[in-house]
Chains A and B, each alone.
Chain A
């Protein structure tokens, strides 16, 4: 073998080695993430944001202050012209009934994602998840309805932390969230299914972190983000009128779910102990299964 050929083999070997090393070192970068961009249809096989019953805090770990605030809420507030376009905090992207449209803004040279955006709904601001390593804003920075979200990859999981949200609601029927609430969302993808696990911490209104999870399915049919802007209109409450509310102990809907489904009041009012299996023992002898369902029992089967 001539020296020229040997030199060629060495070059080839060196290139192969370099390629292998590139694969070894960059593997975590290339394989530790998933494609989140696209349209994700909601699979509403489990709870969606309860807005059917005025007092339904079932499954929430409210503290006493949160419960008191919630019971003071009157949904007629939404008729106030100055509140019609408040929208819901970012928890709603998981709890709401709609699908997600997610897109990215990328570095024009290297193509890496600078941010992901979960498109808005008419009553929820978009969520931009900043992936460029920027720090969280000062705690004194402006709080907005959409909050401020920074993200990072943990293996094949996208972890997003949302802070700086304005005070709002955990659900649409009044359980409150404070401007100190923080939501940590984890996005897991398995094939065409994406599950989001969100943990909401709120030192003001929650007795323990509130956990929400929901699955979405990738769809070829594009989901269009809609709204804002929201346009206010007169709905019967002149500007400057008092804020509709219930005074303590006077919420007329407090026993509605108990009458309809037999749920104990502690459950309806979102006490933390009701979230755990052992709570069942305390109601086993008193709970009465309600008569057969006659309305809103489920969608009529198509076939």
Chain B
């Protein structure tokens, strides 16, 4: 919304044109987004989405390359505010032991999955559940907009995610976009980085998805906040960006690996 419009609106509405403005207003139908309050069910999450995340996306690894694209050396946890207890886990990292225990997906859990060098495929599983698939590690995340649907079962790598749209504008204004907030709990303990920098089962992952039409094409940036009272001294915050791709021709599912 341009500032000029706001100035105009203030002047007009608070000036001497109130009768005319009211008359016009009575003729303007309410937008669809405002309906459903008095009667009928509210629109589904898909129908009321203020941004479009669906499609294929590719991670562009401009940052933290040597922590994301290759397996960093054991004991390297630069930038992660870990606790002393976590440091013991870091120094005990043993990928062979993870493989033996069938836990080679520990670095593909919700705490780290958006940091992977990967492609994403985002679709709607149903009207109120967004599905985000990741080709690296062949992971699937479900973002449920109906809180009751995210009831906890046994912990999983991707945990239970509740989602909510954050809207800009609204209240009858022109579409002004918005963002997606996802909160994930009930995860299996995992790694923030491939080399065993841990997060625990007590961790909560909060993510904010923002879409933009940027030079070079559509993008989104996801800000990931990992809170972990056991292994982190303070929240671990990273932002990862993705570019939209025209199709899934480069989609390349691969299994989890504890070493690569």
Binding site for B on A (CB under 8 A): 14, 17-18, 21-29, 31-33, 43-47, 58-61, 110, 112, 131-133, 152-157, 182, 184, 186, 188, 190, 193, 195, 197, 199, 201, 208-215, 217, 261-263, 267, 274-280, 283-284, 287, 289-294, 296-299, 301-303
Give the CA-CA distance A28 to B59 in the complex, in Å: 32
Contact between chains at A193 and B13 (CB < 8 Å): no
The interface residues of chain B lying within 8 Å CB-to-CB of A155 are 1, 168-169, 176-178
The interface residues of chain A lying within 8 Å CB-to-CB of B100 are none
The interface residues of chain A lying within 8 Å CB-to-CB of B71 are 289
Q: Does B43 reach chain A (CB closer than 8 Å)?
A: no
Q: A28-B176, A293-B75 are in contact. Are A60 and B62 (CB under 8 A)?
A: yes
Binding site for A on B (CB under 8 A): 1-7, 9-10, 13-14, 18, 21-22, 25, 58-66, 69-84, 86-87, 117-119, 135-136, 166, 168-174, 176-179, 181, 208, 210, 212, 214-216, 219, 221, 223, 225, 233, 236-241, 250, 252, 259-260
Interface SS of chain B: helix, strand, loop or mixed?
A: mixed
**Interface-central residue, A25, A214, A215, A267, by most chain B CB under 10 Å:** A25
Of chain B, the residue at the smallest CB distance from A29 is B6
Q: What are 14 contact pairs spanning A and B, CB under 8 A?
A: A59-B65, A112-B6, A133-B4, A152-B2, A157-B177, A157-B212, A186-B212, A210-B62, A212-B62, A213-B221, A276-B61, A277-B119, A277-B136, A289-B71
In the complex, how many residue pairs between chain A and chain B have their CB atoms under 8 Å apart?
A: 248
Contact between chains at B177 and A279 (CB < 8 Å): no
Contact between chains at A199 and B181 (CB < 8 Å): no
Q: A18-B18, A21-B13, A21-B21 are in contact. Are A47 and B64 (CB under 8 A)?
A: yes
Contact between chains at A31 and B69 (CB < 8 Å): no
B28 to chain A: closest CB distance in Å?
A: 9
A11 to chain B: closest CB distance in Å?
A: 12
Of chain B, the residue at the smallest CB distance from A23 is B171
The interface residues of chain A lying within 8 Å CB-to-CB of B239 are 46, 195, 197, 213-215
The interface residues of chain A lying within 8 Å CB-to-CB of B210 are 157, 186, 188, 195, 197
Contact between chains at B223 and A193 (CB < 8 Å): yes
Give which listed residue, B2, B135, B177, contacts A133 with CB less than 8 A: B2
The interface residues of chain A lying within 8 Å CB-to-CB of B81 are 45, 299
Contact between chains at B70 and A262 (CB < 8 Å): yes
Of chain A, the residue at the smallest CB distance from B216 is A209
Give which listed residue, A215, A287, A294, A301, contacts B84 with CB less than 8 A: A301
The interface residues of chain A lying within 8 Å CB-to-CB of B221 are 186, 188, 195, 197, 213
Contact between chains at B208 and A188 (CB < 8 Å): yes
Give the CA-CA distance A284 to B136 in the complex, in Å: 14
Of chain A, the residue at the smallest CB distance from B69 is A280
Contact between chains at B223 and A190 (CB < 8 Å): yes
Give the CA-CA distance A267 to B61 in the complex, in Å: 11
A183 to chain B: closest CB distance in Å?
A: 10
